[in-house]
Amino acid sequence: MAALMTDDRDIGGPAQPLLSVKNVVRHFPLGNKGLPFLKDARNVVRAVDNISFDVLKGETLGVVGESGCGKSTMARLMMQLLQQDSGELIFDGETVGSRALPLREFRRQVQMVFQDSFSSLNPRMTIEDSVAFGATVHGVSPKDAIARGRDLLARVGLDPIRFAGRYPHELSGGQRQRVNIARALALGPRLVILDEAVSALDKSVEAQVLNLLADLKAEFGLTYVFISHDLNVVRYISDRLVVMYLGEIVEIGTAEDVFAHALHPYTRALLNSMPSVDPTRRTSVAPLFGDPPNPIDPPSGCRFHTRCPQAQDVCSKRGPAVSTVGGGQVTCLEYEPDSGYVPISIAAAQELA
Amino acid sequence: MLSYLLRRALYALPIMLGVAFLCFMLVHIAPGDPLVSILPPDASADLQKQLMELYGFNRPLPVQFFSWVWRALHGDLGTSIATGRPVAGEVIKAVGNTMMIAALATLIGFAFGALFGFVAGYMRGSWIDRAASLVSVTGVSVPHYWLGMVLVIVFSVKLMWLPATGAGPDGSDDWHWDWAHFQYLVLPAVTMSFIPMGIIARTVRALVADTLSQEFMVGLRARGLSEFALFRHVLKNCAPTALAVMGLQLGYLLGGSILIETVFSWPGTGFLLNAAIFQRDLPLLQGTILVLALFFVILNLLVDILQTVFDPRIERG
Amino acid sequence: MTTTITTTGDTAKPLATPLRSRGHGANVLRRLVRNPQAMLGATVILILLIMAVAAPLLMPADPFAASMFNRLKPIGTPGYLLGTDELGRDMLSRLILGARLSLFMGVTPVLLAFGIGGAIGIMAGYAGGVLNALVMRTIDVLYAFPSVLLAIALSGALGTGIGNALVSLTVVFIPQIARIAESVTTQVRRSDFVDAARASGASALTIVRVHVLGNVIGPIFVFSTSLISVSMILASGLSFLGLGVTPPNPEWGLMLNTLRTAIYVQPWLAALPGVFIFATSIAFNVLSDGLRAAMEIK
């Protein structure tokens, strides 16, 4: 936190969110090879549909959801590797892409670590060249960039003498991911997005990398967005949590709150599906049934109603709005007064949990 | 799937239009007056003008193009400047002749190529594999018109088993399915067959080796399937691609037969093309190239469609 | 797996030189050299190069000196080691000199097409979208012709001569190379490391130069080398038909043409130039195959 306070790029102070995602929408039209003018308006993958959330300074924001919920698309939108169809990003008070914060400048402040450690490194470049590249783009001389690169490699736990001149295929998965982290830090960003960054690693390696991430966060005053499908990891590392389903956000809250008493039925089901070694917490019935529906043709009304254990008629007719509950927010008709949803008792809810 | 096939066929139309355009432009990029070959050097200006109007060379190019395409769609490819006969008729007859040697060549090439390829793929790394590799490299590297010459030397000049040139005794054009005529077919077809043989051998070898190394083969063998049954599996997996390659080779041979037909004086499209070029017979040249190129496009389209229908792995829609 | 974290409290101190691994190119070369067939092919090509370059020194006689008395002398005639052609010129000398033109016609169109087609393909592949569709569909029209037909049609239209033949052949090869280039570039474009490079704010040109080029040049180059033999055969084929190289220049294909009628008199002599074409073609193909094999393994 101390490092954060003294960051001289900080504009709005600790209260202002570092990154604000506002009403971002991104759809993908389904392919039609070679004839781009023959678009089919119906056949669109609604990957990210009107999501809004904030990333607070100095926090680790976890993002969870099943495959196909739009997490990775959202990550790429946050990095502006994809352009959103509508909506905007606001970084420390400035709109991204505006004259006050052009895209190139934004890129120095936000970086990403990808899931596949191998494909995120150029197989023809040495490790140190890969790490140094970003800096050279922004005017740093090659010699300085290489020196800075080697410095960072050391910081992430890779001895430069042994590793700097090597190629990606000569390193293990964990080592490569460390390189990717070093590469992400080379530009000195304030926000780092980790898209399933540890998912492909062996458990022991995963623990080491997570500890490394924690150390780096403290040392450099970073803010993390940590995307994962592994709830245990997310619980360990996150301050706050965002839960996504089929392109929408269904719940936001502190990690403690969400894991203790989740608000949204989907979150509850997700948490219940974590296998537990505690014999008193055995689940005999699968908390979630069926396959996730198709993002091309999402269910009407509330998207979760087809698999929700407490769905009512009104859920298929009316899409819920965002409701603020306690310190977090949830998107479920249950919490909306005057929505037509008949609230079930708290006891009944806990029975299902 | 029907919509995919329809879209694929539709997609071929702009290609065909482009091909037609290119054919048309080919003769017009030639330096010099298109009429220079038929006009005697001392022709009067009047005669020049007359002929220009007759052939339509004085109209603006887009007009010429569209009227040419329009007539072609109705089967009229113009009249040959050299012979005075309609181009379409000449081309059709020539296509028939070329098709004979091309089809035979493709069949021979496919048969032997597949054989070599299979053997090589099964016995990967052995001397048989190397020998088959050699055959396929040879097939791909040999200048086929030279090979034709060599075969003529061996079989016509030295051994005198087969005739050297022509399509029939005494240079006649009529075809009959008897040995007297068939013997003229042998050398050109065999010569031509080396090209597809080499390519198909190479393709089949790679396919077979690849299929054999796949995990599902291990699974099948573990379940006790006989080698023959496994062989049928390999066959089923390789067939679509191999047949596709064969189809493409046929198309290639149809279009590229000119060199061999020149060596053997075989009266096919290549021979016609040769004559058209040297006599600067523009309508004949345009017509022949157009027919050959379109044949190739349509053949590619057919191969594409058949492959989609028969290979379940290709995505549709 | 290292666990030592070197404390870099003093970042002004330059670190010692790190170990350097052998680069990709060096690995490929190493593997290529160990391939006996490929090396055989390379040797043949080297011999031909020497023939072409040192022709004036190697030729026993004047390749243009015609003599009606010495027409079609057989192979092994004293003074004319490989016999004489239909105009009485020494075959050996003409074959040696012919290496120049034939090699030139084989390599040059491919080189030009590599540059032009490669650039087109990489640009279209990286740009994607409408630009890609436009460029590639145009290329498809050219690709829709069988190469022999296109080469002959273009040559026929442009006329005889080396320059025209070069143009036709280059045009024949550009679509093929462009296609491969586009396909490979599109694949690389989708990789995460390209995204990472975009994420660091680099311009498209920088990304192509630093990241894409190194990864796509290999496959494009290998494919292009496989076209050299095709180019040689096509070029000699054009000369064989009377397009392309004109007499009295010695070019192997042209020699085959002019010697055609001699197959009844001196058959093996007439076939001789083709042997050279064949040998060169195999050599290039074997080398190209070796190169492909060397690049495939990581």
Q: Does residue A79 belong to the interface with chain C, where contact is any CB pair within 8 Å? A: yes
Q: Does residue B143 belong to the interface with chain C, where contact is any CB pair within 8 Å? A: yes
Residue A155's pLDDT is what?
Answer: 92
Note whether residue A114 is domain-resident: yes
Note whether residue A159 is domain-resident: yes
Interface confidence: ipTM more than 0.90:
no
Residue A170 and residue A296 in one domain: no
Q: What is the pTM of this model?
A: 0.84
Q: Does residue C15 belong to the interface with chain A, where contact is any CB pair within 8 Å? A: yes
Q: What is the pLDDT of residues A55-76, one digit of tens each?
A: 999 999 999 988 778 888 999 9
Whether the Cβ atoms of residue A123 and residue A168 lie closer than 8 Å to each other: yes
Residues B24 and B27: their CA atoms lie apart, in Å, by 6
Q: What is the pLDDT of residues B55-109, one digit of tens each?
A: 666 677 788 788 888 888 877 777 777 777 888 888 888 888 888 888 899 999 9
Amino acid at A258: V
Per the structure, the complete domain to which residue A219 belongs is given by: 17-27+45-245
Amino acid at A301: G
Question: What's the 3-state SS for chain B?
Answer: CHHHHHHHHHHHHHHHHHHHHHHHHHHHHCCCCCCCCCCCCCCCHHHHHHHHHHHCCCCCHHHHHHHHHHHHHCCCCCECCCCCCEHHHHHHHHHHHHHHHHHHHHHHHHHHHHHHHHHHHHCCCCHHHHHHHHHHHHHHHCCHHHHHHHHHHHHHHHCCCCCCCCCCHHHCCCCCCCHHHHHHHHHHHHHHHHHHHHHHHHHHHHHHHHHHCCHHHHHHHHCCCCHHHHHHHHHHHHHHHHHHHHHHHHHHHHHCCHHHHHHHCCCCHHHHHHHHHHCCCHHHHHHHHHHHHHHHHHHHHHHHHHHHHHCCCCCCC
Residue A219 and residue A269 in one domain: no
Q: Which of A81, A123, A162 sits opposite C215 (nearest CB)?
A: A123
Mean pLDDT (chain C) is 85
Q: Contact C241/B274, CB-based, under 8 Å?
A: yes
Note whether residue A36 is domain-resident: no
Residue A327 and residue A232 in one domain: no
Which of A179, A172, A85 is closest to A130 using CA atoms? Answer: A179
Chain C residues with beta carbon closer than 8 angstroms to that of B106: none
Note whether residue A268 is domain-resident: yes
Note whether residue A236 is domain-resident: yes
Determine the residue of chain B that is closest to C253 in CA distance.
B146
Residue C213's pLDDT is what?
Answer: 92
- The verdict on whether omega for the bond into residue C248 sits within 30 degrees of 0, i.e. cis, is yes
Mean pLDDT (chain B) is 80
Residue A94 and residue A219 in one domain: yes
Determine whether domain B89-310 maps to CATH 3.30.70.20.
no
Helix/strand/coil percentages in chain C, nearest 5: 70, 0, 25
Three-class DSSP category at C15: coil
Q: In chain B, where does the domain assigned CATH 1.10.3720.10 lie?
A: 89-310
φ, ψ dihedrals at C104, nearest 5°: -60, -45
For chain A, state the CA radius of gyration. 22
**Nearest-CA distance A243 → chain C (Å):** 25
The total domain count for chain A is 2
Q: What is the pLDDT of residues A16-25, one digit of tens each?
A: 889 999 999 9
Note whether residue A213 is domain-resident: yes
**Nearest-CA distance A171 → chain C (Å):** 9
Q: What is the pLDDT of residues B125-160, one digit of tens each?
A: 778 778 888 888 888 888 888 888 888 888 887 778
Residue A231 and residue A345 in one domain: no
> What are the structural domains, with CATH classification, of chain C?
42-64+76-296 (1.10.3720.10)
10 Å CB burial of residue A74 (0-12, 13-18, 19+) is buried
Residue A303 and residue A168 in one domain: no
Residue A185 and residue A312 in one domain: no
Note whether residue A313 is domain-resident: yes
Note whether residue A71 is domain-resident: yes
CB pairs under 8 A between B and C: 130
φ, ψ dihedrals at A46, nearest 5°: -90, 80
Residue A79 and residue A170 in one domain: yes
Residue C293's pLDDT is what?
Answer: 85
Q: Which of A147, A157, A170 sits opposite C3 (nearest CB)?
A: A157
Q: Does residue A34 belong to the interface with chain B, where contact is any CB pair within 8 Å? A: yes
Residue, of C116 and B227, whose pLDDT is higher: C116
Residue B20's pLDDT is what?
Answer: 86
